[in-house]
Amino acid sequence: MFDKLQAKWKVKGWQLALILVTFAIGGSLTGWVGRKLLGLTGMEHGVLYYVLYVIVITLLWPMAVILVSIPFGQYPFFIKYIKRIGGRMVGKSHARVVEEEKELAVGQLAVGNQQPSMDDGQNKNQSQIPDPQSLTPNHTKIAVFASGGGSNAQKIIDYFKNSSRATIALIVCNKPGAGVLSIAQQEAIPSLLIDKEKFFRGNGYVDELKSLDIEFIVLAGFLWKIPIALIKNYPNKIINIHPALLPKHGGKGMYGHFVHEAVLAAGDTESGISIHYVDEQYDHGRTILQVTCPVLAGDTPDLLAKRVLALEHEHYPKLIEKWIGR
């Protein structure tokens, strides 16, 4: 139940705890103040008393929770929550709420349909769709594609968490059980586990991505080649990061420790990162940014990998921000 709430409200565990505490204290405060107020009227505990009590606490409750939410740092959540409940109660924004719920259901269907091997217990949120209320209309939606642990994905998510311009709206992964799926779950970001046959057939997952309004695609350790249909539908809107100085040490099979082993075997004195547009060949599109680091005497693939990964974490999120805003 807590998992569901966390995902629904797009909050972290600790925030959910504060929200629940706010609900509890706000509720008790409402009851207490309501009884005190009615006590002032000197009324008997009859039907009228209880009718009035319900009216009073209905009016008091929003104020009480908003008040309590301030010291707990949950004011932004409760303002949105109460506006939404209020909208439903007065029926004013009911149409909008229904529209959003419809949108949600359509999205779930779109994503849910495409999942080949769902739910081994770890990937519970794979068919979640972002709560439209949590995104402003001007949020640029970015999908991160990853196949592995997802340390870059995590850095990118963190970087855009408080952005008013862009959000990581979807994690796309081709590997059941990959670390990046747990990150998506923890961060309450929807994820899509893709099927190889569908990915490379016809339009692949283009419709699903478009239906989620994904505008940019960022590859962060995604090991499949990007099919031409996706490239055509996202012209100059897909980038990749490679842990070496392309055009050296790139291409099929050049990933992870293979790259760093190749750098060391070649006797290179420097390595680094390359961020580039994605075309139909592995690690081939136009370079956007390269940042170098030295290869040191006594380096092992692991030592070099760490140095390069630190550069990725530092530069990729910032570059993405510039790139989407250009």
DSSP 190-255: -EEE--HHHHHSTTTTHHHHHHTTEEEEEESS--SPPPHHHHHHSTT-EEEEESS-TTTT-STT--
Applying CB under 6 A, what is the total number of residues that bind ligand GRF?
A: 15
Q: Does 186 bind ligand GRF (CB under 6 A)?
A: no
Q: Does 163 bind ligand GRF (CB under 6 A)?
A: no
Instruction: Choose, by CB under 6 A, the member of 87, 149, 176, 301 that binds ligand GRF.
Output: 149
- Please state the closest distance from residue 232 (CB atom) to ligand GRF, in A: 22
d(CA 168, CA 188): 11
- Please state the closest distance from residue 71 (CB atom) to ligand GRF, in A: 38
Helices 151-160 & 179-186 angle (0-180, nearest 10): 20
Cα pseudo-dihedral 61, 19, 161, 174, rounded to 10: -120
d(CA 20, CA 78): 11
What's the full length of the chain, in residues? 326
Q: Which of 164, 103, 95 is nearest to 136 (CA)?
A: 164
Residue at token pair 């050296």: 248
For residue 275, what is the enclosing H or E element?
A: strand 270-277
> Is 193:123 a contact under the CB 8 Å cutoff?
yes
Which stretch, 29-37, 61-69, 151-159, 261-269, contacts ligand GRF (CB under 6 A)? Answer: 151-159
Q: Which residue number, 187 or 312, has a Cβ lying nearer to ligand GRF?
A: 312
Q: Which residue is at the shortest CB distance from ligand GRF?
A: 221
The active-site residue, picked from 139, 242, 260, 315, is: 242
Q: Does 317 bind ligand GRF (CB under 6 A)?
A: no
Q: Which residue number, 135 or 309, has a Cβ lying nearer to ligand GRF?
A: 309
- Please state the closest distance from residue 222 (CB atom) to ligand GRF, in A: 7
**Interface with ligand GRF in residues 273-312 (CB under 6 A):** 309, 312
Instruction: Choose, by CB under 6 A, the member of 64, 65, 111, 220 that binds ligand GRF.
Output: 220
Q: Does 241 bind ligand GRF (CB under 6 A)?
A: yes
User: What residues contact residue 287 under an 8 Å CB cut-off, 6+ apart?
Assistant: 246, 274, 275, 276
Q: Which residue number, 124 or 313, has a Cβ lying nearer to ligand GRF?
A: 313
Q: Which amino acid is at 286?
A: R
Q: Name the region of 221 (left: φ>0; alpha: ψ -120 to 50; beta: rest).
A: left
Asked if omega into 247 is within 30° of 0 (cis), the reply is yes
Q: Which residue number, 115 or 151, has a Cβ lying nearer to ligand GRF?
A: 151
| Active-site residue flag, 249 | no
Which stretch, 3-11, 51-59, 76-84, 143-151, contacts ligand GRF (CB under 6 A)? Answer: 143-151
d(CA 186, CA 276): 29
Residue 242: how many CA atoms within 13 Å on its side-chain side?
Answer: 31
Which stretch, 67-75, 84-92, 97-105, 146-154, contacts ligand GRF (CB under 6 A)? Answer: 146-154
Q: Which residue number, 9 or 222, has a Cβ lying nearer to ligand GRF?
A: 222
Q: Does 221 bind ligand GRF (CB under 6 A)?
A: yes
* Tokens encoding 188: 């309450």
- Please state the closest distance from residue 244 (CB atom) to ligand GRF, in A: 8
User: Which residues are known to be catalytic?
Assistant: 242
The binding site for ligand GRF (CB under 6 A) comprises 146, 148-153, 220-221, 241-243, 255, 309, 312
